[in-house]
Amino acid sequence: MCGVIGVSGVPDAARIAYLGLYALQHRGQESAGIVALGGDGQARVVRGMGLVSEVFDQAALDSLPGTTAVGHTRYSTAGSSVLANAQPQLVSYQHGPLTLAHNGNLVNAMALKARLVEEGSIFSTSSDSEVLIHLIARSKQPTPEGQIREALEAVEGAYSIVLSVGREVYAAVDGRGFRPLVLGQLGGGVVVTSETCALDLVGATVLRELQPGDFVRLVDGRVEPLAPLGRRPVSRCVFELVYFARPDSTVFGESVDRVRRELGRELAREHPAPGADVVFSVPDSANAMALGFADVSGIKLEHGLIRNHYVGRTFINPTQALRVAKVKIKFNPVREVIAGKAVVVVDDSLVRGTTSKGLVQMIRAAGAREVHLRLGSPPITGPCHYGIDTPTRQELIAATHSVEEIRTYLGVDSLGYLGLEGMLRAAGPRNAWCHACFSGAYPTPETDDIARRLRTAPLAEAPA
């Protein structure tokens, strides 16, 4: 997953992009970058591996003058975690410097890339996004707008994308609208970014969210709507609301906080834990869910786990070894709250089961009498092809194990997953949702890229 931002018509645009990226840090922690377009027509770029705070310092920002900027934070879902794949990508193009920042994942990139390579294209990254750059550069359309449109119409999958050509910024959302993108007003300028929390931080006011198929150009702080891209049946990613987006954001017209509370309420109705003494969340993404659970169940809400905020999101680190070690670094139980009690632990989701297994051991070691785990979303049984890092079925514990097997593996007294219907009710009636990772109902055609990802090795053995 990634966070993107584009700034147009704002003095010192790179500083605004930098602040915005801070608010989008949760969307990707592997690399960060900003391209700024100076009054001299020059594009300058600073990109690096690591957090926004690690990549940028005063000197880096001073080296990025101009009133237009594009920024990106990344974690890899396609392509490996190396500097070459860090975005924004910057290339020189017939109409000036071209910059691209992509959130989402394309599902026909490999096939397109193979064709482009056969025809002589040379790629410098292993990310799916570079395909778009080649398609734009090779398009015979006479204008940048036409070339970008042609490229976007040729790709399949998820993109919420910010591009710049010279000082013009283009923003687009694929026809199904998997990922969010929102426009904001900042003084005489305009900002386009993944989540409203980034607009809040830079002091911009929300203009509107881009809808599926929306395509706009930002010129010196003005928003010019362009003819929409081909619309498809809308399928907003429900996992943005369950886990990914920040609770202080509004995504797809819904308050993330409100939806998460509602998920917790639904969960308490579906899987109550009668007789439990306390309920607490696995912080932070499940905080609001535990609130909702406490609300409906009447069980006392406590802080039972303390999170070390100076560690990145465990799951985001792409190797398994790192993930396991990080559970302990990240959480510690509060003995006072837990000892001798029957506890309900609320988390948003179970992916590989590694975090929960470690947490349950810790909670038991802190003296819990009973541990009841409640999850604010259904079992994840398939990988996401549209930008969330759940690469293969094999790694998903619920793809190969029953709820009872998972309960035994985790060592909990009871385990309750929210059902699909309850989750969608909580997400609200305003949108149609992509819930493929839970239901197997993938909204795009099954491309070769998807077939390759779905092909799993023999079923994984029961986790030890």
Q: Is the dihedral of CA 235, 1, 221, 255 positive or negative?
A: positive
Which is nearest to 283 in space by CA: 233, 319, 334, 335? 334
> What are the DSSP calls for 265-280, one per residue?
HHHHHHS--TT--EEE
Q: Is 2 a catalytic site residue?
A: yes
Q: Which of 171, 216, 273, 350 binds ligand AMP (CB under 6 A)?
A: 350
Nearest to 148 by CA among 88, 95, 211: 95
Q: Concatenated DSSP letters for 72-129?
A: EEE--SSS-SSGGG-SSEEEEETTEEEEEEEES-BSSHHHHHHHHHHTT---S--STT
Quick note: the x/- pattern for ligand AMP over 193-232, rule CB under 6 A, is ----------------------------------------
State the residue for tokens 């396609």: 78
Q: Please compute, for residue 313, the number of CA atoms within 13 A of its CA located in the half-sphere on the CB side.
A: 22
Q: Does 235 bind ligand AMP (CB under 6 A)?
A: no
Among 68, 73, 249, 356, binds ligand AMP (CB under 6 A): 356
CA 408, 324, 83: angle at the middle one, nearest 5? 140
Only one of the segments 50-58, 192-200, 289-297, 347-355 lies at the binding site for ligand AMP (rule: CB under 6 A); that segment is 347-355
Q: How far is the CB of 47 from ligand AMP (least distance, A)?
A: 22
Shortest Å distance, C-beta 314 to ligand AMP: 6
C-alpha distances (whole Å) from 169 to each of 97, 193, 236 are 11, 12, 24
- Shortest approach of ligand AMP to residue 397 CB, angstroms? 7
Per CB under 6 A, does 389 bind ligand AMP?
yes
Q: Which of 29, 83, 73 is nearest to 322 (CA)?
A: 29
Choice from 176, 236, 313, 374 touching ligand AMP (CB under 6 A): 313
Asked if 30 interacts with ligand AMP (CB under 6 A), we say no
Q: Among 128, 168, 347, 449, which residue sits at the site for ligand AMP (rule: CB under 6 A)?
A: 347
315 touches ligand AMP (CB under 6 A): yes
Q: Residue 150 or 405: which CB sits closer to ligand AMP?
A: 405
The token pair at 78 is 């396609």
Decide if 7 contacts 17 (C-beta within 8 A): yes
Question: Which range binds ligand AMP by CB under 6 A, 7-15, 229-237, 296-304, 382-390?
Answer: 382-390
Q: How far is the CB of 351 from ligand AMP (least distance, A)?
A: 3
What part of residues 268-297 is at the interface with ligand AMP (CB under 6 A)?
A: 282, 285
Stretch binding ligand AMP (CB under 6 A), from 129-137, 257-265, 292-300, 387-395: 387-395
How far apart are the C-alpha atoms of 347 and 285, rounded to whole Å?
8
Question: How many CB atoms within 10 Å of residue 344?
Answer: 32
**Segment contacting ligand AMP by CB under 6 A, of 149-157, 219-227, 332-340, 354-362:** 354-362
Residue 240 in contact with ligand AMP, rule: CB under 6 A? no
Please give the positions annotated as active site: 2
| Binding interface with ligand AMP (CB under 6 A) | 243, 282, 285, 313, 315-316, 347-356, 388-390
